[in-house]
Amino acid sequence: MAQLLEQFINGLVLGGIYALIAVGYTMVYGIIQLINFAHGEIFMFGAYLALMLITVFNIPFWVALPASMLLCAMLGMLIDLVAYRPLRDAPRLSALITAIGISLVLQNLARMIWSARPQQFPTETLPAFFVSEVNMQTGEILNAIPLPGGGILPYRDVFILALAVVLMIALNRLIHLTKIGKAMRACAQNRVASNLMGIKTNQVIAITFAIGSALGAVAGIMVGLSENITPTMGYYKGVAAFAAAVLGGIGNITGAMLGGIIIGLAEVLGAGYISGGYRLAIAYIIMIAVIVIRPSGLLGKSTATRA
């Protein structure tokens, strides 16, 4: 029972991370109907950039986090400007292949810059309350909440989950209450008409990429706090997050959040209770099942068929 509770919390934390990445996929898809395969790589860059800022430039964690977000937002906008914008009116296949190409370039670039060796944020550079431990002799629990049954809930996980929730709410408010949010919704409905109404669609798309990438960077840093940072993490976590976006209904932001939590829980519980070897496959199975049973996803519009 204690194990289940702990697994459940781990699943929630992972789900929060997936939700943050999935939002990036779904926002871009909602506006330009492009599966931005490079988004996973941006998320990976977010982690590496923060790591580099902290270890090489000795910047404190609380500055590195927004700095990495900013850098990733710029990277996302740059990718849109250089690679996707010229192809806006080209066949969709061209844009998809370009996205794959960018993903390849970024992943191998990361491997060349930072090597394939798994890395972690050095413990001493992190804020003190991130480091939880249980003193075996005294039974004293440091920086963690004791759970019934003997488990612990590290403050780090509380922080990740809380930050994910705060960012989600902020994004939701941004989309629904601000002018740029309104412009984004308009573009998602009909890009050509929005353009005719005087909305600078290219600017809106660039901002969408920036927001998605910044959220991705946060997710990357969160993964870096609890797991290893590797050049392939963008690929693996990216696909799971994409599955979350599909599950929630691609193009639907609330759906992406919900999908992220479900995929995260399914992955952790499935790996714990079914088979560890298929840990990553669980997301794919859910994704394929969703496409077979309900392609529009949990919250998507039912008109998923589009020529």
Partner 1 sequence: MKDKLTPKNIIFALLICFLPLLMFAIDDLVALLSQSGIYLGWPGGEYMLRIIVRAGVYMMLAVGLNIVCGFTGLLDLGYVCFYLIGGYTAGILMARLGVSYWVALPLAVLHGTAWGLLRGAPTLRLTGDYFAIVTFGFAELFFRIVRNEQWLVGAPNGQLRGIPSPTLFGITFNQNWHNYYHILILLTLVVFITYRLQHSRVGRAWVAIREDEQAAESMGINVSRYKSLAFAVSAAIGGLSGAFIAQFQVNISAPFFEFWESILILCMVVLGGMGSIRGAMIGAAILGSLGEILRPGLIIPYQFGNPRYLIFGIILILLMRFRPSGLSLKKHNTNTA
- Contact residues toward partner 1 (CB under 8 A) are 33, 35, 83, 86-87, 90-98, 100-105, 107-109, 111-112, 115-116, 231, 235, 239, 242-243, 246, 275, 277-278, 280-281, 284-285, 287-288, 291-292, 295, 304-307
3-state secondary structure of 294: coil
3-state secondary structure of 145: strand
| H or E stretch at 69 | helix 61-79
- Specify the residue, 177 or 307, whose C-beta has the smaller distance to partner 1: 307
């798994």: which residue's tokens?
118
Q: Is the dihedral of CA 158, 235, 239, 4 positive or negative?
A: negative
| 287-297 core/surface letters (b: 16 or more CB in 10 A; e: else) | beebeeeeebb
Rounded to the nearest whole angstrom, what is the least distance from the CB of residue 202 to partner 1 in the complex? 17
Rounded to the nearest whole angstrom, what is the least distance from the CB of residue 117 to partner 1 in the complex? 11
3-state secondary structure of 99: helix
- Specify the residue, 14 or 287, whose C-beta has the smaller distance to partner 1: 287
Rounded to the nearest whole angstrom, what is the least distance from the CB of residue 27 to partner 1 in the complex? 15
Rounded to the nearest whole angstrom, what is the least distance from the CB of residue 38 to partner 1 in the complex? 10
Rounded to the nearest whole angstrom, what is the least distance from the CB of residue 291 to partner 1 in the complex? 5
- Specify the residue, 130 or 242, whose C-beta has the smaller distance to partner 1: 242
Other CB atoms within a 10 A radius of the CB of residue 177 amount to 9
- Specify the residue, 101 or 146, whose C-beta has the smaller distance to partner 1: 101
- Specify the residue, 13 or 38, whose C-beta has the smaller distance to partner 1: 38
Query: d(Cα 258, Cα 237) in Å, to the nearest integer?
Result: 16
